[in-house]
Structure 1
Amino acid sequence: MNIKHNEIEISDENPFANCKLGRQKYAHILTNIIDSYSYGFVLAINNKWGTGKTTFVKMWRQELVNKEYQTVYFNAWENDFENNPLTALMGELKTLTTESTEPEFKSTLNKAAILTKHIAPIVAKAIADRYIDTEGIQDAIIGVTKGLTDIFEKEVNDYAKKKKSITDFQNSLAEFIANTNEGKPLIFIIDELDRCRPNYAVSILEQIKHFFSVPNIVFILSIDKTQLGNAVKGVYGSDNIDADEYLRRFIDLEYSIPDPEADIFYKYLYEYFGFDEFFQSDERRKYSKLTSDRGDFLSICKLLFTGKKIPLRQQEKIFALSRLSLRSFDANSYVVPHIFLFLTFTKIIHSSFYDNLKNKLLTIAQMQKEFLSIVEFSKNGQTERELIRLEVYLVNFYHNYLESQNYEKKLYEWDTETGKNKLLIDSTIDKDSNNVFLNILEYIHKGNEGDLDLGYFTNRIELLEDIKL
């Protein structure tokens, strides 16, 4: 049994063999773009955190390698301990050197060193200006000891040297790239840029634009553009900066990987985490009232994960916690998949609602109102009965949970005039007649299932019950 979703194995021969999201076709689209504009550009793959960008670019990179492209993969977040991104970027390029291209790379490296020498005083002055108010200390740091005329003359000379050093570096880099891949562009993938220190992320962008804008390099930025925009605002100290416009200076093309088709990912996770080992076990199948659990679990998965865009990484967390929590249920125990998975879902996605339930801070009416705001996205003709069923379970188990505090209000009672039960509570989903709500409520009280309370589930989700290994 898996309790953690490990990184997907990427086969050298068939990189997308283990991709469960059908994303190879998007890699083909992007490769065609590279083939069409091989002179060089910057492409941003823009998707939210947790949507599988890193796995995709790693698979795509291997496919590019198989098509004889030279590629570099650089995880910016893992390398933001390096103060100067130019050092890190050149370090990645070094991996492409061969015996025949080693002299060219050394020449490029020497020019990069000269370039860094010219940049360093400017960086020092910028840091001093931003963080130090005392003019005397600033002067000591940047060595300003001459008169204004001498300083101005020196800055003009430094400017000319810096400009020449950039040109020399770019020319040398272009020559090195041209001789590494027999006419194909170098594919330089930069991942996790939006997770770096803001100043490091912005510095990488600036250096790509100013130093690496040479023929035959295609930069692939795997980013969450919104988060990277926040980093830009942080560096420049203002929310008024148009971050989107700023990023357009660096990004030539933008592509977003389409969301996977409905049902694909949760079914994959169900199989990956081995839920059938529990739901379909020989021991559990002896009990007729428990045989529907597998179908019920997949039904509530469909309700929760196809009605709203839940990041893939968040879905992984929900399934991992659910599978681990199942270890605390005996083979003959009620799981009630609708409420069990919904509570796990809210613990990860809507934690404040989950905590309020667990701590009995809501009335039933308040709970129903918040519940409706969470599931409103899914409400339509096909899902309404499932939503009513979920609401019944939640209301009933939360009602029982409150009973431990002498909460005496009933949910329904016998009506002597009609000779039927009548509801004493309104449904937020079943607005027409409440008959479906009442029928489900009556059904679950025909057995012991209706006597369970919310703590029965939250204790297991919180891993407060013994885990059976």
Structure 2
Amino acid sequence: MIKHKEIDIVAGNPFANCKLDRHQYAKVLTSIVDTYADGFVLAINNKWGTGKTTFVKMWEQDLKDNKYQTVYFNAWENDFENNPLTALMGELKTLTKEETEPKFKTVLNRAAILSKHIAPVVVKAIADRYINTDGIKEAIEKVTEGVTNIFENEVNDYAEKKKGITEFRTSLSKFIADTNEGKPLIFIVDELDRCRPDYAVAILEQIKHFFSVPNIVFVLSIDKGQLGNAVRGVYGSEQIDAEEYLRRFIDIEYSIPEPDSEKYCDYLYNYFGLNEFFNSDLRSRISQLNYDGMTFLKTAKILFKNTNVSLRQQEKIFAHSRLVLRSFPYNNFVFPNLFLFLIYIKTLNNAFYNKIKFKQLSLKDLQIEFMTTINFISQDDFDYEIIDLEAYLIHYYNNYVFTRSNRSLLFEEDTNTKQNKLLINSLTDKSPDGSRFLTILESRSRGYDNGGDINIEFLFRKIDITQSITF
């Protein structure tokens, strides 16, 4: 399994397969809907990859289970439609029943007035300036006959459209009231921030001007930062205050709280079946490999807790790990902390990954980039794992960059104490003598039995999937 499948959303218990304990947030949102049932726009604002789509689909089913009428509209999948009003009305049509069909047709007729466009007129002066072909100019002049009446037509059209907006809203509100037994319609607009910028802005404008009626609650599932970029793109200026612009359309903003990262790691570890590899019968017979699964999981929890890694990125890292592990014979060293770290930076910081791969860093520079990447904050229980990871990275990179005869010495024996002392300082081991860091480097230097002579090139070959995968 190399891809995380969509969660099965079960009618009657839509959050049954949710591993992030998010039912509680759906209850909060439903209570907001109940409190302000007259109609408003709610934005669920979270970064891309945090599971918004899955959440709103589960919440939508929960609303249905509680007798709410809902519409789910994926704006990104529908931005081929130039006029958002057509798409929005098409979604509303799904609510019609035999007894409400006449009222919907009334709404549709009103919408037709709103979607009417006057074709742009190219006047003779513009034709003279840009077009030199006499035949084309003559044709344009015929089209623009009666141009003196255009302004009057535009004024009349404006009045007609303004009246049409009022009539559209009135008929729409009556239609919605008759479809849901007094409860508001929940109209969910998902993936708005991934649309063409002009389409996204047009949807916002039409929701505001045409659909702001009682009995409709619009739910915008968005990354507000990305949507703000779309706004600036449409108006062609980085100086546009996108935050202020979006505030015109959004009445209430809600962000789904971040899930417990350790619980989610446990879930992904089990979902992708990593235990099946690390604790297989054959690997379990090799004592040096017995703790690989535990080390992998602990390292994942540290990396995901210390850094801003979205749920989707975490899934990608676990999925890639599962795929690559297929290329390891059962009796191979994996060095799970280093293995996971390399996949982690390949996913999130490919430039750093390539610097390691192409031997572009000194040991000191490697340590500095390592610390920047993991954003290390002392966590007591996890400190040893981070120190171990730093030591593994330094040792196996040293093996990779240099041959056995010219490798940098990482420690040496003190002539006075006859004890080893570090020649490279750890950035994670805060003890005065770096004892934990030194102990790991000493254990790695002991040679073949624990894989100490290996360099990380073999991990690059596997991670970059240049070796065969078996299933």
TM-score if structure 2 supplies the norm length? 0.93
Q: Which one-letter code corresponds to 1:400 in the other structure?
A: N
Matches within 5 A, 1:86-235: 86-117=85-116, 120-121=117-118, 144-147=144-147, 150-235=149-234
Counterpart CA distance in 2 for 1:215 and 1:445 is 73
Which position in structure 1 is the counterpart of 2:392?
393
Is the CA contact (8 Å cut-off) linking 2:127 and 2:140 kept in structure 1? no
CA RMSD of aligned residues (A): 2.2
Which stretch of the first structure deviates more once superposed, 41-50 or 416-425? Answer: 416-425
Tell me by how many angstroms 1:379 deviates.
3.1
Is the CA contact (8 Å cut-off) linking 1:379 and 1:387 kept in structure 2? no
Change (3 A) 1:429 1:358: same
Describe the superposition over 1:61-118 as per-residue Cα deviations: whole angstroms up to 9, x where unpaired.
Answer: 001001111100000000000000000000001100001111111121122112211x
Describe the superposition over 1:428-468 as per-residue Cα deviations: whole angstroms up to 9, x where unpaired.
Answer: 22243222211111122333321121112111111122212
Secondary structure at the aligned position of 1:263 is classed as: helix
Counterpart CA distance in 2 for 1:342 and 1:140 is 66
Counterpart CA distance in 1 for 2:368 and 2:13 is 49
Matches within 5 A, 1:233-248: 233-248=232-247
Is the CA contact (8 Å cut-off) linking 2:399 and 2:407 kept in structure 1? no
Describe the superposition over 1:381-400 as per-residue Cα deviations: whole angstroms up to 9, x where unpaired.
Answer: 33332211110000011001
Which position in structure 1 is the counterpart of 2:469?
467
Matches within 5 A, 1:53-64: 53-64=52-63
Counterpart CA distance in 1 for 2:141 and 2:304 is 56
Which position in structure 2 is the counterpart of 1:453?
455
Counterpart CA distance in 2 for 1:444 and 1:314 is 31
Counterpart CA distance in 1 for 2:85 and 2:172 is 13
Which position in structure 2 is the counterpart of 1:444?
444
Describe the superposition over 1:124-180 as per-residue Cα deviations: whole angstroms up to 9, x where unpaired.
Answer: 58xx99xx99976799599654455x3332221111011011112111111111110
Counterpart CA distance in 1 for 2:256 and 2:468 is 42
Which position in structure 2 is the counterpart of 1:261?
260
Is the CA contact (8 Å cut-off) linking 1:71 and 1:188 kept in structure 2? yes
Counterpart CA distance in 1 for 2:224 and 2:101 is 36
Describe the superposition over 1:273-325 as per-residue Cα deviations: whole angstroms up to 9, x where unpaired.
Answer: 00111011111100111111121111101211122231000000000000111
Counterpart CA distance in 2 for 1:38 and 1:350 is 45
Secondary structure at the aligned position of 1:182 is classed as: coil
Counterpart CA distance in 2 for 1:65 and 1:7 is 20
Secondary structure at the aligned position of 1:277 is classed as: helix
Secondary structure at the aligned position of 1:300 is classed as: helix
Counterpart CA distance in 1 for 2:141 and 2:218 is 36
Q: Which one-letter code corresponds to 1:65 in the other structure?
A: K
Tell me by how many angstroms 1:26 deviates.
0.3
Is the CA contact (8 Å cut-off) linking 1:273 and 1:320 kept in structure 2? yes
Secondary structure at the aligned position of 2:337 is classed as: helix
Change (3 A) 1:141 1:423: farther
Q: Which one-letter code corresponds to 1:94 in the other structure?
A: K
TM-score if structure 1 supplies the norm length? 0.93
Matches within 5 A, 1:9-24: 9-24=8-23
Q: Which one-letter code corresponds to 1:54 in the other structure?
A: T
Q: Which one-letter code corresponds to 1:230 in the other structure?
A: N
Secondary structure at the aligned position of 1:464 is classed as: coil
Secondary structure at the aligned position of 1:220 is classed as: strand
Counterpart CA distance in 2 for 1:133 and 1:407 is 77
Change (3 A) 1:445 1:252: same
Counterpart CA distance in 2 for 1:145 and 1:383 is 80
Q: Name stretches of at least 5 consecutive residues in structure 1 with no aligned partner.
A: none
Is the CA contact (8 Å cut-off) linking 2:326 and 2:469 kept in structure 1? yes
Change (3 A) 1:355 1:133: farther
Change (3 A) 1:134 1:97: farther
Tell me by how many angstroms 1:405 deviates.
9.9
Which position in structure 2 is the counterpart of 1:294?
293
Q: Which one-letter code corresponds to 2:439 in the other structure?
A: N
Is the CA contact (8 Å cut-off) linking 2:306 and 2:375 kept in structure 1? no
Which position in structure 1 is the counterpart of 2:367?
368
Is the CA contact (8 Å cut-off) linking 1:121 and 1:142 kept in structure 2? no
Tell me by how many angstroms 1:204 deviates.
0.2
Which position in structure 1 is the counterpart of 2:327?
328
Is the CA contact (8 Å cut-off) linking 1:328 and 1:468 kept in structure 2? yes
Identity across the alignment (%): 57
Change (3 A) 1:34 1:219: same
Counterpart CA distance in 2 for 1:404 and 1:79 is 57
Change (3 A) 1:159 1:233: same
Counterpart CA distance in 2 for 1:351 and 1:433 is 33
Matches within 5 A, 1:362-441: 362-404=361-403, 407-431=406-430, 432-441=432-441
Secondary structure at the aligned position of 2:413 is classed as: strand
Which position in structure 2 is the counterpart of 1:44?
43
Is the CA contact (8 Å cut-off) linking 1:328 and 1:465 kept in structure 2? yes
Is the CA contact (8 Å cut-off) linking 2:395 and 2:444 kept in structure 1? no
Tell me by how many angstroms 1:9 deviates.
0.7
Which position in structure 2 is the counterpart of 1:311?
310
